[in-house]
């Protein structure tokens, strides 16, 4: 417990220095706690996976390759990369080729069609044959 108390402020300082290096000067204090929790959870999960991989390979110790494989496995599960910029530009180009609908000049409030209105009739009655 004493060792954990000593390491917490150091880790807190590391996270704040990383934020400063990235140019992030204004943030809520809870952001650092969230980043610390994410970091601890991520590292713990990676090391547990590396231990499992090492045990599966009948090794007595965890090797660098086990950790690399665990990191790769976690990054495929947790972290996603954004699509390539060329792909996004192509989607934007096709979308922007379609002209916008013309703006109708209607005087008064614009109401949705009756089928979307909450006060419209939403049932049909059957006629009874006698």
pLDDT at 7: 52
Q: Which two tokens stand for residue 38?
A: 């994410």
Summarised one tens digit per residue, pLDDT across range 90-130 is 999 999 999 988 887 777 777 778 777 777 776 777 887 76
Q: Which two tokens stand for residue 75?
A: 């990054």
Summarised one tens digit per residue, pLDDT across range 42-54 is 999 999 999 999 9
Cα distance between residue 12 and residue 43, in whole Å: 16
At residue 68's C-alpha, the angle toward residues 67 and 71, to 5°, is 85
Please name each of the domains of the chain with its CATH number: 2-79 (1.10.20.10)
Which residue, among 8, 53, 56, has the nearest Cα to 32 in the 3D structure?
8
Summarised one tens digit per residue, pLDDT across range 9-60 is 788 889 999 999 999 999 998 999 999 999 999 999 999 999 999 999 999 8
């Amino acid at each position: 417990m004493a060792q954990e108390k000593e390491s917490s402020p150091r880790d807190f300082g590391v996270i704040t220095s990383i934020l400063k290096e990235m140019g992030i000067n204004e943030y809520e204090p809870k952001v650092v706690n969230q980043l610390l929790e994410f970091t601890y959870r991520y590292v713990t999960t990676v090391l547990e996976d590396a231990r499992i991989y090492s045990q599966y390979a009948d090794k007595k110790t965890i090797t660098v390759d086990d950790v690399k494989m665990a990191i790769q496995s976690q990054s495929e599960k947790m972290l996603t990369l954004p699509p390539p910029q060329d792909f996004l530009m192509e989607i934007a180009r096709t979308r922007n080729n379609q002209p916008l609908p013309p703006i109708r000049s209607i005087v008064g409030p614009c109401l949705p069609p009756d089928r979307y209105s909450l006060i419209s009739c939403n049932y049909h009655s059957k006629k009874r044959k006698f």
